Each structure stands twice: as structure tokens, then as C-alpha cells.
Amino acid sequence: MSTVTGDRLPLAALLALAMAGFITILTEALPAGLLVQMAKGLAVSEAWAGQTVTIYALGSLVAAMPLTAATQGMRRRPLLLAAIAGFVLANTVTAFSGNYALTMVARFLAGVSAGLVWALLAGYAARMVPEHQKGRAIAIAMVGTPLALSLGVPAGTLLGKLMGWRLCFAIMSLLALVLMVWVRLKVPDFAGQAAGKRRSLGQVFTLAGVRPVLLVVLAFVLAHNILYTYIAPLLGAAGMAERTDLALLVFGVTSLLGIGIVGVLIDRHLRALTLISTMLFGLAALALGLAGDAPALVYGAVAAWGLAFGGAATLFQTALAKTAGDAADVAQSMLVTAWNMAIAGGGMVGGVLLQRLGAGAFAPAVLGLLAATLVVVWAARRHGFPAPKGAGRANPGTPGRQRAS
């Protein structure tokens, strides 16, 4: 089935992809809100129950690149359906399992499915639309992520307290089943890569622009996760530990606003939006470091941070999809790996900083990472985060080449 060539976005198909992202993120994060109940249900400590999140991330980390590379030749829709079926199986097992080891196997399988889904989404969305709409299409496909974090996890936590944690995972399985039908009916199918056009992981990694984007993902997301993972002690240092829930709500709301803004502007201003998001995040980190016990400044900084981070995934995935071209799925699997490395690194680096230097060390560390991000984005003006066509001044010694914008 060919790509869409008109100006009308295929919303039903793109929203199906967004639903896949929603299920992926919610399956990953749900145990965080249900930790006490899961620990009791599985007869383990809360620390061991928390490892259900760790092994999910590990599944994504180890499977995304080799699995995506190995499935380049498969048709896209059957592959996406297989990945979603993995969530049906994993969440069903989690809902009924009373054995901790079996639950951990199911969670690892869910992580493997997640790694494949994330590798597929951006490239899939981009193939549905013409070149000038790729960024907007990817933004719609990515909207499930902030929705899952800002609305899905709190709703799942409340439902778990009222009706039990197992029901939450059973509902996730039902949602995935519904999504499989939705994808089969509304999402177009595309052929996999022909044998002669498939590229190895090494070949994709060395494409011009791929490495700068991956470096930006690693540094930006690492900076985010240092703050996000340890937001409670960070707020505690400002005397606001009891308002962590409100701060996270502010972050979630402005994240939704951020992805909306990026979705409207990304196809014309990807480079500028990436630079602005990085600088805005830096200002927010600086404000958090200087806020002291001023609640208004803390909330303002958290709001700016959410605004900067909300569209980040869309910016990075769009940049990589445009840079990698036909190898977008393999490149996206590298982004998934870098993203999960940054999540794990945020927990480790933030923990060391908190233990040895205190929460006051977060802001300088984050600012250092964001400064590096800014340098890489600025330098990648030809490949990765290219300047708009016609932005450069023509060489006065040669005839200028003008292109219609």
C-alpha cells in the first residue's frame, strides 16, 4: 500500500500508533504506582517489585537494535501487530501470575515488545505522509507518551487502589487486543526493505547526522532523568517534598502543551525548536538550582522544564527519521537504546550525586549536559539538525541558487 500523498493527515492510523505508544509507556510505568500492592501480591519486598520496571527497560535495551535489524525484510503491519501481541501476552501473564520469576519473564517480554514498537513508530508515521508533513505525523504518533505519563499512570494507580493491581494489567491486555483490531483495520501496510537495500547497524550508525542525533538524545534525556528520577529529594531541599504530586501534574500538563507546539511547528522549524527546547530546559534547571524555598519559582521552573521536554521525543525522532531515510527503523532502534541507557544512567548518576554531594549538585550536572547538547545541535547544521534551506548566504563569487520555500 502506498504512502499518502495529499495534505489530509491519516488521523485514524496515526492515533492507532499513538495508542501503541500509550500502552508501551503505561505498561512500563504502571508498577511504579502499584509497587506496594504488587509486592504483597507476589510475596516479595518493594525493592524486588521495583525490579519489574528495571527488567522491562533491560528488555528494550538489549532487543531493540538486533530485533529491528533482523526484521528489516518483514512487512510493517504484521510486525507491528506481533509487537502489540507481545503486550497482550505479557500483561495477561502479569495479571494472573502469582510467581515472581514468571512475572519477571513476562515483564522482560513486554520490554522486548516495547523496544520493537518504539523502533517502528516514527518511521511508520513518516511513511504515511508526504515529506512536508512528516514532523506533524510523528508528533501525533508520539502524543501517547505524555498522555500515559500525565493521565494514564495516575488513573491506573487510583484504579489499582480501588480494585486491585491485577485488574490494571488485565485492562492493559484488553486495550492491546482492541488496538490490534484497530491497526488491522486502519493502519496501512508497507513492505519491508528489499534484501539489497538493507543496512547493517554499523552502516546506519555511520550515516551523516545519525551520531549527532544519538549524542543529543543521550545527553538531553540523561539530564531529564537525573531531575525526574530524583524530583522528590530535589523538592525536599526546597521544603516542598509534600507537593511532589502537584509538581508532577504541572510537568505533565506543560509537557502536553509542549508536544502540541512542536507538532504545529516542527516541519518548518525543527532545528530552532531543538535549540529553544535545550535552552529552555537549561533555564529551568538553573532556576531550580537557585530557587531555594520559593514555591512560585519552583513551579515556574517545572512548568518550563515540562514545556521543553514534552516535544523532545518528537524532535529527536523526526530528526533521525529524516536523517536516516530508508534506514529509519534501524536508526530509531538505536534511539530506543540510547534513550533507555539515559534512563538507567539518570538513576545511577543522580543517585551518586545525591549521596555524595546532595540535591544541590543536580543543577550543575544537568547544565553541563545541556551545554554539550546545545553545542552538538549547533554544530549539526548540515546533517542531523539541518538549517532551513536558503538560510545560508550564497557565495558572492557564484550565482546564488534560490529555492521556493
pLDDT at 199: 76
**H/E/C letters for each residue in 70-94?**
HCCCCCHHHHHHHHHHHHHHHHHHH
- To which residue does cell 530535589 refer? 234
- To which residue does cell 522544564 refer? 305
Cβ atoms of residues 403 and 390 within 8 Å:
yes
Cβ atoms of residues 16 and 182 within 8 Å:
yes
Question: Which of 172-181, 201-210, 229-238, 246-255 is the least confident region?
Answer: 229-238
Distance CA 405, CA 37 (A): 56
Q: How far is CA 73 from CA 76, 119, 120, 207, 301, in A?
A: 9, 14, 13, 20, 46
Tens of pLDDT, residue by residue over 154-163, are 777 778 878 8
DSSP secondary structure letter of residue 5: -
φ/ψ (deg, to 5) at 97: -75, 135
Burial string for 202-241 (b: 16+ CB within 10 Å, else e) reads eebbebebbbbbbbbbbbbbbbbbbbbbbbeebbebbebe
Cα-Cα-Cα-Cα torsion 23, 27, 32, 37, nearest 10 degrees, comes to 120
pLDDT at 392: 47
- To which residue does cell 493527515 refer? 9
Distance CA 225, CA 307 (A): 15
Q: Does residue 2 carry a pLDDT above 70?
A: no
Tens of pLDDT, residue by residue over 215-268, are 999 999 999 988 887 877 888 877 777 777 788 788 888 988 998 898 889 888
**Angle value at C-alpha 118, between 112 and 124, nearest 5 degrees:** 130
* Domains and their CATH numbers in the chain: 1-187 (1.20.1250.20), 200-387 (1.20.1250.20)
Distance CA 334, CA 324 (A): 11
* pTM as predicted: 0.78
φ/ψ (deg, to 5) at 6: -85, -175
Cβ atoms of residues 18 and 143 within 8 Å:
yes
Q: Does residue 399 carry a pLDDT above 50?
A: no
Q: Does residue 153 carry a pLDDT above 90?
A: no
Sequence-separated contacts (24+) of 238-244 with Cβ below 8 Å: 238/291, 238/292, 238/293, 238/294, 238/295, 238/298, 239/293, 240/293, 240/295, 240/298, 243/295
Distance CA 53, CA 266 (A): 32
347: helix, coil or strand? helix
Average pLDDT over residues 266-295: 90
Residue 292: CB atoms within 10 Å: 10
Distance CA 187, CA 80 (A): 10
Higher-confidence position of 399 and 149: 149
